[in-house]
Amino acid sequence: MNDKEIRKILISWLQACNSEIRIYQEKSIGTSICDLMAVTDCLTGYEIKSDLDNYQRLDRQIKNYDKIFDKNYIVVGQQHSTTIEKRLPFYWGIIVVMNDHVHVARKAQHGKPSLKNKLKLLWKIELKNILCRLNLPPCTYKSKDYIIQYLLSENQENQINNALLYELMHRDYSIFNARDYTFYSNTIETRTSDICDSVPAEEFIDSLSEQDLQQITLDQWINLYTKAKKLQQTKEKYQHPTKKAGLLPHKISYKDIEVSPGTPWISWKIIDDFIYYLIWGKERWQYPTHKQEAKLYYEDVTGYWFISNKKFYHNSRLDYDFGAPNYNALHILEAILNLREIRRETREETVAALDKQQKIINLFKEWIWQDEDRRWKVEENYNQPELFMIIHFTAVNAA
């Protein structure tokens, strides 16, 4: 049997076996192409080996499939049915397709794919949908890679994975002509344009993954390429949105808002991000992993802030730049959050700690406004204090 024959039978069989399924064909996965990707309650990859195919690329394909899919199957005709098993990992499934029936010779087991690689399957606008569903900042001005790293830093793998499956199951190609509503502009040009910053031109080809490519004419290919090029040009035109558009302006701008760690309109999440910046001098999604992660906790009964694992962190920033060897910057930040007076054993040590306290406050004031999304979030909290307090205490209690 050839590829086309196997593919047609396989798709019909999968649709008959699943009450809800979305099937994509010819998906790019690393240096390989996935013949067929099925979205159900998990992501499943299907590699087709027709009677005319050989195993020359199979090892590389297995590695690429394993990085993305929860389950993987090799799909063969009768020609390879007796030889394929010894060439596969034990957790790969085997499906044999014949003219009159489909036989599951071995069921696939769950693998350990990378959530990061799975998220790369999504369009930027779909990643933003996940941010919205998880009540996270919209990351309006951020790249696709940035949003992926941000999601990974949230430690909500199950929720993110479920949201990813939902987005792939309900992918809507009409968003090619949709505006990204996380942007706002008061200019006619931006309001009336069919800008689609969230769908890069190179991903436009995804719209073909559920179609019969053999039925597409040369004129249709040219039309698709032209439209993709136009989308890319539009994206490049608005790649600096701060000059062309901004989020819906708040009544009180960040320029008129006083900030310091512990002020009521600074969210728990922002303080948590600042902890990592204080430790490493980098944003949270850039920091190196650590066995004993510093975590922020809040006790709503007593109003007490607590940073765990403070003693496990030692570097020049914590012990010298913003702290002392026996009283590092995390201890000082905790004191700032709790409005606690700092007193050390000697007057000299107390004066030195107070100096570092002011340095941390100054660093926070400089850091917090460097990011457009943080600026917008603080403005939002300050301008809607009642709503913010409900969301804020729900978040810290859940954490």
Q: Is residue 12 part of a domain?
A: yes
Residue 80 burial (CB count, 10 A): 20
What 3-state DSSP class applies to 241? helix
Q: In this structure, are 271 and 367 located in the same domain?
A: yes
Last residue of a domain, one of 244, 272, 296: 244
pTM exceeding 0.75: no
Q: In this structure, are 93 and 163 located in the same domain?
A: no
**Residue 343 structural domain:** 254-398
Q: Is residue 321 part of a domain?
A: yes
Q: In this structure, are 393 and 287 located in the same domain?
A: yes
How far apart are alpha carbons 262 and 282 in whole angstroms?
Answer: 21
Q: Is residue 215 part of a domain?
A: yes
Please check whether residue 33 is in contact with residue 26, taking contact to mean a CB–CB distance below 8 angstroms. Answer: yes
Q: Is residue 339 part of a domain?
A: yes
Q: In this structure, are 76 and 11 located in the same domain?
A: yes
Q: In this structure, are 213 and 260 located in the same domain?
A: no
> In tens digits, what is the pLDDT along the chain, a chain of 399 residues?
899 999 999 999 999 999 999 999 888 888 888 999 999 999 999 999 998 888 889 999 999 999 999 999 999 998 898 899 999 999 999 999 998 889 999 999 999 999 999 999 998 889 989 998 888 877 876 788 889 988 998 889 999 999 999 999 988 766 554 444 444 333 333 333 333 444 444 455 565 566 555 566 667 667 666 766 666 665 555 444 443 334 456 777 767 788 888 887 788 888 988 998 998 888 766 555 555 577 888 877 777 899 988 878 888 899 999 998 789 999 999 999 998 888 898 999 999 999 999 999 999 999 998 887 788 788 878 887 554 444 444 444 444
What 3-state DSSP class applies to 200? coil
Q: In this structure, are 155 and 190 located in the same domain?
A: yes
Last residue of a domain, one of 81, 106, 131: 106
Q: In this structure, are 134 and 90 located in the same domain?
A: no
Residues forming beta bridges with residue 236, ordered by sequence position: none
C-alpha dihedral sign at 374, 378, 383, 386: positive
Q: How many domains, in total, are found in the chain?
A: 3
Q: Is residue 249 part of a domain?
A: no
Cα first-last separation, the chain? 55
Q: In this structure, are 126 and 89 located in the same domain?
A: no
Q: Is residue 78 part of a domain?
A: yes
Last residue of a domain, one of 66, 82, 106: 106
Q: Is residue 22 part of a domain?
A: yes
Q: In this structure, are 9 and 84 located in the same domain?
A: yes
Q: In this structure, are 361 and 312 located in the same domain?
A: yes
Q: In this structure, are 260 and 322 located in the same domain?
A: yes
What does the block give as tokens for 277?
């910046």
- CATH number of the domain at 55, please: 3.40.1350.60
Q: Give the β-pairing of 93-97 and 71-76.
A: parallel
Q: In this structure, are 273 and 391 located in the same domain?
A: yes
Q: Is residue 337 part of a domain?
A: yes
User: Given phi > 0 = left and psi -120 to 50 = alpha, else beta, which region is 339?
Assistant: left
How far apart are alpha carbons 377 and 265 in whole angstroms?
Answer: 9
Please check whether residue 116 is in contact with residue 154, taking contact to mean a CB–CB distance below 8 angstroms. Answer: no
How far apart are alpha carbons 264 and 382 in whole angstroms?
Answer: 9
